[in-house]
Amino acid sequence: MIAFIIRRFLQAVVVMLVISLVVFAIKKEFGDPVRDLVGERVTPEERQQIADKMGLNDPFLVQYGRFVKNAVTKGDLGRSFLYNKPNLEVIITHAPATIELVLGTAFIIIVLSLPLGVYCALKPRSWLSRFTMSFSTLGVSMPVFLTAILLIYLFAVHWQILPSYGRGETVDLFGNGIWMTGLLTIDGLKHLILPCISLSTLMLPLFIRLIRSEMMEVLETEYIKYAWAKGLSPRRVWLVHAFKNTLLPVITVFGVQIGIMFAFTLLTELVFQWPGMGFMFLEAVNRADLSLLIAYLVVVAASFVVVNTVVDILYGFINPTVRIAGTK
Amino acid sequence: MKTKLQQFKESYFLYSFRRDMVAMASFVVLVIFLGIAFAAPWISPMNPYDSANIDIMNSEIPPMWMDGGSKEFPLGTDNQGRDMLSTMFYGLRTSIIIGLGAVAIQAAIGIVLGLMAGYLGGKTDAILMRLADIQFSFPYLMVAIFMSAIFQVVFGAGSFEQLAIPLLTIIIGLSNWPMFARTIRASVMGEKNKEYVEAARVIGLPQRIIMFRHILPNALTSVMVISTIQVANAVMSEAALSFLGLGMPVTKPSLGSLIRAGQEYFFSGSWWITVLPGLWLVLFVLVINLLGDWLRDVLNPKLYKG
Amino acid sequence: MSSLLEVRDLEVKFGLRSGDITAIDGVSFELDPGERMGLVGESGAGKSVTGFAIINLISKPGYISRGSIHFEGKEISAYPPDKMRTIRGNRISMIFQDPMMTLNPVYTIGFQMIETLKAHRDISKSQARAIALEKLKLVQMPSPEKRLAQYPHELSGGMRQRIIIAISLLADPAIIIADEPTTALDVTIQAEIMDLLQELCENEKMGLMLITHDLGVVSQVTEKIAVMYAGKIIEYGPTETVVHHPVHPYTIGLIGSIPGSIEPGKDLRQIPGMMPTLTNIPPGCAFNPRCELAADICTRQTPVLEEKQNGIMAACHMK
């Protein structure tokens, strides 16, 4: 198991190095760190001096080495001229909003997709299954932003029962001003409902279908037939024997899809004016803050790599076959 | 000897198509959509991409069946005064051009790399698949968003607007090739040890010929199914990018940029600017998805999961 | 004395869109307590379906369309699911063909043994564990304690089949139905498993229904044989007699095709042609197209199973 974790970890490091190289090349070619630091009103001579001082005229690999070293040891990902703060700080203060959005959505997806997917597999001919399956095709074809706009129209404008924009009332989770959470106030939770629903319409159909098809496949296996032959109850056969085997592939996909969800938060954050990382990203694009853009790219890539690695390791713990393969 | 046409007429493929009402209806709708997209310049009442035709005085006119609507603009006008019907025709055309182009790029890259990885194996396979893994671990929409964002920041929004259609095609094409590559590779792995490939090798046929003439045809069902799903994905990506302001510019709106433009007018009552192109887009993607589902059920290829 | 298991005129159909297909057509046999019976035939003859039909576990869209299954004095063919459960794995156990596929890969051996016991007995986990250990010892499993904590994939095929046999013994059943229990195993291990199964049935006074295509195995283990062909029993009698003096031409052909049944140096006999598929069974005797003795009547009238000689029942017009 330890060998497996180490191997997986090394893979993650290699991936991060490749990504950082690409990112650094873009930054080096197109970025303007002098402007990021002192703004645009400096003479060419001053620029040259500052550039020398910052080591911008050193060989590429030396600069790349320094970039990685600063990023790893000091968490230094450059400065944002837009916010006039270190990039990492800007990203960290925007992260909680996005993370809470993703958590809320993941919650909705898990709570709904597991029972619905299992039900559709067990009773494929019932009207609820048919309805769920047709509805899921529609859900897949519906862009998130359109769902979001329609939800706002219905719940916020027409019926006026839920708020439409922003995060609402937030409280400081750790008392240090970094994690402002909306999960602890009624108003904050109310503001979460619509964004989370619209984001979940994207993944929910996918998971219901995935769980359904995996479960149906598992139900056909010999070991399930054997479980029946042992005289186990339907509850036990379905929920203990079939369900766990269904979950294994689903967990892997879930890890990947959480990542995809981060991409789609951009759309929901834009519609709901949600002050998260996606909103910050679009701001950075509009104001051409390449430095922040690239820092964001690094952070997103890193979190993806971490999530994927954790999911793989988690999978190893649940699936005994992988665990053994890892120790050998 | 039966002709190809006769064979097709008697095939299971056509048989199950005729039995499935949903598949047939979707196909008909899809053909209509494609027809409209193709004929947009001739059947649209006006060219919405030409600013000379647009009069801001005509902005936010409702569809003709509502109060204040006019026959001149059957589905109303947008916030700039463009005829909605024409804009939806042109927007669909743009979306389809980008969608098909992007999938063609994905398929080309995916097929070449997938064949190489699967057939040559060894180091080539390891490197190509690691590469695919890395890109695959990032959502394709994210990759596309980053690419267009960086392009827009680096070269400025102005040059982006001029090159929007080819650029978006390339960006969406590059962002989603691993899906094809992996599926092709999987079917090559399954095919390559079969006897007929062995035989072709023994006769001394060059690898290139074995790959394209003998192995590729067996992977075509998978390619067909994936292509359908990927066209839907590409159209959705284009809409998402345009909605974020990273895709088609407001001067040449696609369906996504129309929805974006209409968003702020929606809540003040001008719902049609958002809702009509929205429905148009959903219907188009829905029929592709329905056809894709049906194809997958009928052809049942071994697709790469996840 | 009435039999432990009595199957009468069993018919199983598979409901397909194009119409029902009869997989088992009027099968009857009985099994006394502690008796070992072999159900022999080519694949597709319906022997597995017969086995599964007894505990009403036929894969969909199959269903029992006629006949009776009498077990321990009760008619069980129409038992509702939860009553059927008290029989499955409790009074009648099954051993499946491929031990590599039979155990759930994500649970330990101990888990899968204990849950079986707990499904049928009201006992504590530690009591169940003790019984599981005892049965593992009974199947001569080396270091049984360790096995309980292991996952199926850590064990070889032979070991897994021993475990499955141990699971089938857990509730001290009256009958074990073994569906090709050794086909998926190495030849060297096949004999071991077969011997173990025979020994256990003798010692524990359990009935055995051995489903196999291998007449050689059946002749060593069982006391009684039923030969199936195209969904019907065509020969039924004591093992000794059937093996040495078979009546039905199909059985004669089967025995002639076993290596070692004839003198060395001579060619093995084989039955020409193939068994018909269920969708196109020929009229009359299903075996007639392959039969050397076939006469006019064989294509017109279906022969019934009747007593022929030495206590053998056979379905053939010509004998």
Subunits that touch chain B (at least 3 Cβ pairs < 8 angstroms)? Answer: A
Q: Taking 90 as the threshold, does the pLDDT of residue C166 lie above it?
A: yes
The larger pLDDT score, comparing residue C92 to residue C263, is at: C92
Structure tokens at C281: 């069974």
Cβ contact, residue pair A285, B240, below 8 Å: no
Q: Taking 70 as the threshold, does the pLDDT of residue A324 lie above it?
A: no
Contact A207, A194 (CB under 8 A): no
CA distance C4 to C73: 7
* Residue in C90, C103, C104 nearest the CB of A231: C90
| Phi and psi, residue B276, nearest 5° | -65, -50
> pLDDT at position B10, please?
67
> pLDDT at position A320, please?
67
Which positions ≥6 away from B275 have C-beta within 8 Å?
B262, B266
CA distance A158 to A152: 8
Q: Which domains occur in chain C, in start order?
A: 31-57+76-222 (3.40.50.300), 246-319 (no CATH)
Q: Which amino acid is at A248?
A: L
Residue closest to A258 by CA, chosen among A194, A203, A313: A203
| pLDDT per residue as tens digits for the range C101-116 | 999 988 999 999 999 9
Which positions ≥6 away from A78 have C-beta within 8 Å?
A27, A33, A36, A86, A87, A291, A292, A294, A295
Minimal Cα–Cα distance from A14 to chain B, Å? Answer: 10
Name which of A308-312, B139-143, B176-180 the model is least confident about.
Answer: A308-312
- A/B interface, count of CB pairs below 8 Å: 111
Q: At C310, is the pLDDT very low, low, confident or very high (cuts 50, 70, 90)?
A: confident
Chain B contact set for A138 (CB, 8 A): 282, 286
Does A touch C (3+ CB pairs < 8 Å)?
Answer: yes
Q: At C223, is the pLDDT very low, low, confident or very high (cuts 50, 70, 90)?
A: very high
Choose the mutation target among A230, A243, A319, A324 for the interface with C, i.e. most C CBs under 10 Å: A230
Choose the mutation target among A226, A315, A322 for the interface with C, i.e. most C CBs under 10 Å: A226
Subunits that touch chain C (at least 3 Cβ pairs < 8 angstroms)? Answer: A
Q: At B306, is the pLDDT very low, low, confident or very high (cuts 50, 70, 90)?
A: very low
Choose the mutation target among B142, B266, B284 for the interface with A, i.e. most A CBs under 10 Å: B142
Strands, E assignment, C249-319: 306-307, 313-314
Closest chain B CA to residue A149:
B263
CA distance B132 to B143: 13
Q: Taking 60 as the threshold, does the pLDDT of residue B303 lie above it?
A: no
* Residue in A225, A230, A324 nearest the CB of C167: A230
Structure tokens at C262: 């004839």
> pLDDT at position C262, please?
64
* Residue in B134, B236, B293 nearest the CB of A143: B236
CA distance C9 to C69: 9
Does B touch A (3+ CB pairs < 8 Å)?
Answer: yes
Chain C contact set for A245 (CB, 8 A): 104-106
Cβ contact, residue pair A249, B232, below 8 Å: no
CATH no. for B80-299: 1.10.3720.10
* Residue in A231, A318, A324 nearest the CB of C154: A324
| pLDDT per residue as tens digits for the range A298-312 | 888 888 888 778 877
Residue closest to C211 by CA, chosen among C71, C53, C33: C53
Residue closest to C69 by CA, chosen among C90, C48, C92: C92
| Phi and psi, residue B143, nearest 5° | -60, -45
Chain A contact set for B293 (CB, 8 A): 137
CA distance A17 to A5: 18
Closest chain A CA to residue C113:
A230
Q: At B282, is the pLDDT very low, low, confident or very high (cuts 50, 70, 90)?
A: very high
Structure tokens at A320: 């005994």
* Residue in A231, A319, A321 nearest the CB of C120: A231
Minimal Cα–Cα distance from A210 to chain C, Å? Answer: 20
> pLDDT at position B199, please?
83
Q: At A172, is the pLDDT very low, low, confident or very high (cuts 50, 70, 90)?
A: confident
Q: What is the mean pLDDT of chain C?
A: 89
Which positions ≥6 away from C13 have C-beta within 8 Å?
C20, C21, C22, C23, C62, C63, C65
Q: Taking 60 as the threshold, does the pLDDT of residue C149 lie above it?
A: yes
| pLDDT per residue as tens digits for the range C273-285 | 888 888 888 888 8
Contact A277, B145 (CB under 8 A): no
* DSSP letter assigned to residue A165: S
| pLDDT per residue as tens digits for the range A33-60 | 777 666 667 777 777 777 777 777 778 8
Cβ contact, residue pair A264, B290, below 8 Å: no
Cβ contact, residue pair B243, A305, below 8 Å: no
Minimal Cα–Cα distance from A306 to chain C, Å? Answer: 26
Which whole number is the average pLDDT over B278-299? 88
Which whole number is the average pLDDT over B128-148? 82
Contact A189, A182 (CB under 8 A): yes
Q: Does C48 touch chain A (CB under 8 A)?
A: no
Going from N- to C-terminal start, the domains of chain A cover: 2-86, 89-327
CA distance A80 to A15: 25
Q: Does A227 touch chain C (CB under 8 A)?
A: yes
> pLDDT at position B305, please?
40
Chain C contact set for A225 (CB, 8 A): 57, 59, 96
Please count the other Cβ atoms lying within 10 Å of the Cβ belonging to residue A41. 7
DSSP 3-state percent helix, strand, coil across chain A (nearest 5): 75, 0, 20
B 30-49 → A contacts, CB under 8 A = none
Cβ contact, residue pair C85, A233, below 8 Å: yes
Name which of A113-122, B219-228, C109-118, C229-238 the model is least confident about.
Answer: B219-228
Which range has the top average pLDDT, A18-32, B127-141, C234-248?
C234-248
Cβ contact, residue pair B305, A264, below 8 Å: no
Cβ contact, residue pair A300, B142, below 8 Å: yes
Helix (H, G, I), strand (E, B) or coil at C106: coil
* Residue in A30, A150, A282 nearest the CB of B244: A282
Measured at the CA of C289, the angle between CA C284 and CA C295, to 5 degrees, comes to 65
| pLDDT per residue as tens digits for the range B230-264 | 999 999 999 999 999 888 888 888 888 888 888 88
Which whole number is the average pLDDT over A219-243? 93
Structure tokens at A83: 């916010």
* Residue in A146, A293, A304 nearest the CB of B138: A304
Q: Does B202 touch chain A (CB under 8 A)?
A: no
Q: Quick one: residue C223, left, alpha or beta (phi over 0 = left, psi -120 to 50 = alpha)?
A: alpha
Contact C181, C161 (CB under 8 A): yes
| Phi and psi, residue A183, nearest 5° | -80, -15
Q: Which amino acid is at C319?
A: K
Q: At A328, is the pLDDT very low, low, confident or very high (cuts 50, 70, 90)?
A: very low
Closest chain B CA to residue A263:
B142
**Which residue shows structure tokens 């006119």?**
B61
| pLDDT per residue as tens digits for the range C122-138 | 999 999 999 999 999 99
Structure tokens at B227: 């292509």
Minimal Cα–Cα distance from B134 to chain A, Å? Answer: 7
Contact C218, C38 (CB under 8 A): yes
Choose the mutation target among A32, A212, A257, A266 for the interface with B, i.e. most B CBs under 10 Å: A266
| pLDDT per residue as tens digits for the range C30-83 | 999 999 999 998 888 889 999 999 999 988 888 999 999 999 989 998 899 899
Minimal Cα–Cα distance from A131 to chain B, Å? Answer: 15
CATH no. for A89-327: 1.10.3720.10
> pLDDT at position C54, please?
93
Reported ipTM: the value is: 0.91
